[in-house]
Structures are given as C-alpha cells and as structure tokens.
Structure 1
Amino acid sequence: MQNIGKIVVVAAAALSLAACGQQAKTETAAPPSSAAPSSTAAPATQSKGRECTADDIKTTGKFGEVPTITIPDDCDPPKKLITKDLSEGTGEGAKAGQQLKMNYLLVTWSDKQKLDSSFDRGQTFDLQLGAGKVIPGWDQGLVGIKQGGRRLLIIPPDLAYGEGGNGMKPNETLVFVTDAVAVTAA
C-alpha cells in the first residue's frame, strides 16, 4: 500500500527529513513501504458495540481555517474507508491523474492526538491523485473532491500504514480533515 506518505507522500518526500512520523511528525506521508514493519501488535481493545460513522466525528473550521477533529469514545473505528464532504467546493471533482494541492490535519484514532498538519507548516501537500504516491486511503478518498472543498477522511489501517511504520502504531486508524486548495489537470 502506498502511503499517505504518498499522500503525504510528498510531504515526506518534501520533507527531506524522510524520518517521518516519529522523528519529524510532519512527515507522516512517507511511504510506509520504506519503513520496516513493527513487530509489536496493537493491544486488543474491547468493542463498544458499534462502528463510528462520519457523523460521530466532530470537526470545526471552514475551508482554509485550521480544523479541529474530535473522535468519540463510545464507538469503534470503522473498518472501511469513510469520506464526508464538509464543504463542497466548486468545479469538476478530482479524477485519477490530476494534480492536487492539499492542506490537511491528521489525528490518530488510538490516542486522539494530532500527529501532523500542513496547516501548521503553512505549506500545502502536492500529489498526483491515483499515482500510488500516497496511502491508498488518500488515493481513493480524495476522488471527486472539488477545489475549495473540505473533506473528512476516516482511513482504516489496511488503507493506511497497516502494521505500522512512518511513526504510526500498528493497525492505526487515521482521521483527516483535508482542504483541496487546487485541483488541476495532470
């Protein structure tokens, strides 16, 4: 699986720190395949009886503003990719092959803490949608986003970093608020 890293694949790449996640929390986008998988398994947690939906995740902020993400304690992380447009944007929806300039905030499900934010860096993350340069959750979850749109992405581990790497704990669910600053032809 490529990574956000690919996603933020470029973020990582853009950050010649290449140390993603833990060494440079701004590098969560480094390709997970470049890091050795972690041998420790995430501790089993007791189910809360239902999976969270997009409506369970609370966000604040309008397009262009630094968002906040609040993950509830009363439901389990979803097992499938969930997307929700928080504001629609204008123009045609993004398609594979198009160039995107994105801002994003990333919160990890397990500890409900911010791990990375392009908003904090004041620099967009650039990617080619569908090119496999970011985690699959981004390549799939950003299809159709419009310029000026804000989208919530809840990405299960199998579409993120799986067994871990790039500063991610094993089997971590990722929650992003993304802003499509620009959607342009490939």
Structure 2
Amino acid sequence: MGVTKLVLQNGNGVDKPKTGDDVVIDYTGCLYDPAAADKHFMGDEFDSSKDRGEFKTTIGIGKVIRGWDEAVQNMTLGEMSILTITADYAYGDRKVELKGINQRRSS
C-alpha cells in the first residue's frame, strides 16, 4: 500500500524538496476508477488547484496527506507525475460531520 508514481514530464533531475521545505504545487485530485485504464485510472475529479491557483504548503511535516508528503519529496523541480495513492496514505475511512452553517451550529 502507499503511493505509485507515473512520471509524465521529467523535472530538472537535481532539486528535490526536503522535509520542512516550502513547495508550490498544481494538482488535480481524481477518484480511482478501475474501469478507466485508458486514463491512468483517473475517475471523477474531486478537487483541483487549477482554478484557485497554485497550492503552497510545507512538505514532510504532516500538513498534507501522507502520500503527498512522501511522493513530493521524491520529485524534482518541474516534474509532472500522476500519483496513485491508497486510502491509508490519503484520507482513509474518515467520516465527515457537518457541524455548522453560517454561524448556526448543530447541537
């Protein structure tokens, strides 16, 4: 389990982020679709930085999912890859509870 990486565009081959480095990433998150082999198993999109702009974070310290913390540190500057991340390296089986809407809170 974990992360697999398919490199679409090589980076510079030299500059890799280390734990604690600030990184800037463009990403599109898709659900895994076993029927979409022709699209690298990318199913429905659930999130993307494309419309919001680049995503900035500190890598390797738990601010993002474990799959990103590990995979991004194995990329080089300019690299574009498809990361396939298993649930245990992503969000797992976490549940979601809506606790408030516009200042109203659930009891």
The structure in which a higher percent of residues are helix is 1
**Does 2:31 match 1:108?**
yes
**What residue in structure 2 maps to residue 141 of structure 1?**
71
- Of residues 48, 51, 74, the one that matches 1:120 is 51
**What residue in structure 2 maps to residue 83 of structure 1?**
5
Contact 2:5 2:71 in 1 (8 A): yes
Within 5 Å, which residues of 2 pair with 1:1-186?
79-90=1-12, 91-109=14-32, 112-121=43-52, 123-165=53-95
Deviation for aligned residue 1:117: 0.8
The structure in which a higher percent of residues are strand is 2
**Percent of aligned pairs with the same amino acid:** 30
Deviation for aligned residue 1:116: 0.7
Contact 1:95 1:144 in 2 (8 A): no
Structure-1 separation of matches of 2:31 and 2:55: 19
Structure-1 separation of matches of 2:6 and 2:17: 15
Segments of structure 2 that go 5 or more residues without pairing to the other structure are: 34-41, 97-107
Helix, strand or coil at the partner of 2:83: strand
Q: Relative contact order: is structure 1 or structure 2 higher (C-alpha 8 Å, sep ≥ 6)? A: 2
Segments of structure 1 that go 5 or more residues without pairing to the other structure are: 1-78, 167-186
Q: Deviations along 1:2-21, whole A, 9 cap, x unmatched?
A: xxxxxxxxxxxxxxxxxxxx
**What residue in structure 2 maps to residue 177 of structure 1?**
none
Runs of 4 or more consecutive aligned structure 1 residues displaced over 3 Å after TM superposition: none
Structure-1-length-normalised TM-score: 0.43
Structure-2-length-normalised TM-score: 0.72
Residue 94 of structure 1 aligns to which amino acid in structure 2? P
Structure-2 separation of matches of 1:140 and 1:102: 14
Helix, strand or coil at the partner of 2:27: strand
Residue 117 of structure 1 aligns to which amino acid in structure 2? S
Residue 85 of structure 2 aligns to which amino acid in structure 1? I
Deviation for aligned residue 1:95: 1.6
Deviation for aligned residue 1:165: 4.1
Tell me the C-alpha RMSD between the 2 structures: 2.1
